[in-house]
Chain A
Amino acid sequence: MREIALHLLDIAENSVSAGGRNIRMDVLENLQDDLLNVSVTDDGRGMDEETAKRVLDPFYTTRTTRKVGLGIPLLKLAAESSGGGLSLETESGKGTRIEATFRHSHIDRMPLGDVGMTMLTLLVSYPHVNWTFHYEVNGKDGNRQFLLDDKEIKSALGDVPLTEPDVLKFLRGMIEEGIASVTPETVA
């Protein structure tokens, strides 16, 4: 996977599979400290100590459809290859938080990629989940952030599905505008 945004999609997918109903995705581009930090936090079933220890092993997975679990090990490798790292906090029955840090200017850092499409994909595909997306850029000219909590959106829409064409157009526009407003000096 060549984009950090694709890894975020993968981790969020795991969060949904783990029964998360409130899932938060954070992207922080800290240009002042030359760091790129991404995390996904869920309130799913979490992991016991034994599973948490093995989650970085690519030959371990809880899935029954295949015998390898490459997602998190690949993200860890990508983060470590660019002067960062990956951390995992989890508690059985409470939820999981996975955070990856990258040196922003590192030549081997993969591009952040299309975060907006990752957000839109998750938002429309899992309407039963309460999504919070937070994108923050801390640059020379100060701090800018875009926060999207879908509670108000769903409340305003009532029984109209998120995949109705006009709603999709609205959501796409809102996400694109929000991201564009915080990323003028960011180089992917």
Chain B
Amino acid sequence: MELIPLAPGAESLAAHRQRLGPLPTLPSGQLIAELEASGLLGRGGAGFPVGRKWRAVAERSSGGAVVLANGAEGEPLSLKDRTLMAGRPHLVIDGALLAARAVAADNIIFYVGGEHRAAQAALRDALAERSRDLQGGARIATAPGGYVSGEESAAVHFVNAGDARPTTIPPRPFERGVGGRPTLVQNVESLALAALIARRGHAWYQGLGHGQARGLGLVTVSGAVNHAGVREVEFGSTLGDAAAAAGGVSGDVGAVLLGGYFGGWADVDQQWGLPLDAHSMRARGLALGCGVVHFLPAQTCGVEATARIMTYLASQSARQCGPCVFGLAAIAGATQRLGARSPKADDLERIARWSGQLTGRGACRHPDGAVALLQSAMHVFADDFAAHQRRRCLTTSVPARVAVA
């Protein structure tokens, strides 16, 4: 176990140092090269190569860059970031410190969801213990609740102006972010993994994984399993392995939601052997995203579960861009009517058309993620959607437990 604490509660600085030794002092160029060679991908959802992002910020920095460690974790089915921050705050801080050195930043902001109380407390205490390393250049910013506040331009906007709504790009944060300075926005798990790679080298990370896949990361397993929670997996281990690591499935499973509300549904019978790995999943039209794995019980109606998620996502629009505000609301309304088996005559047709029209039409990717989820649902639950349009349901509907705020 590399990311999971060895004992309950927050790991102390002494325990952290005993486990991993001191913070390495590689020169910036070498550290970035290690990260690039490791193949580490961002763990916040988009899966962008971490080393390449550090390089982009380092190239623009003349000493005053900013590191924004993203621990907003607004995704309702994800727990991995808060669990990591609460249990291994010093590892996250190590990653942020290394990033700050590599990109020549003099300011680190830990952007942590306000509702993640244990994570907030652990980081606050850990930052106090590290005051010598940090020399006053680090602080916590409490992210407001909401799905979109973790989006990178929203995070920057919040730190700059107290408003956690996305802004128009360009400029992207790595060009002009906090205080107008080049800003590295990096998920907290990505930073923790970078801190491990800095100590052990890229070959260590490349040596982990099964099959074609390389590396390890955290996933959050929930739904119809016996022991839901955060698990560490070597990439390339299968969906079946993830279920087993969560105590096995607790009953018949109909489908699985992969990657979070920005990911998609998959047919579980076809995918037990699916390698959990960003590249392999992308090749199959799926996404590892932020590592959410949610098993939907067979008795739960996929249309209803999807309607709940779409309603939630529509409610989370930052209400700035017409296509997102009106499009997601209309989709949520029609999907709800379908879920309740009281659709208008052409609801199914309309959600198909609308979901094809929203991608790339918001300032941020909120609508893109939402319609990707709906499209996957219309594929995996095609028979159910068709039945619901005819006012029938194919499952003995037990209300969906997909958690929404």
A interacts with B? no
Q: Which residues does B use to contact A, with CB under 8 Å? A: none
Q: Which residues does A use to contact B, with CB under 8 Å? A: none
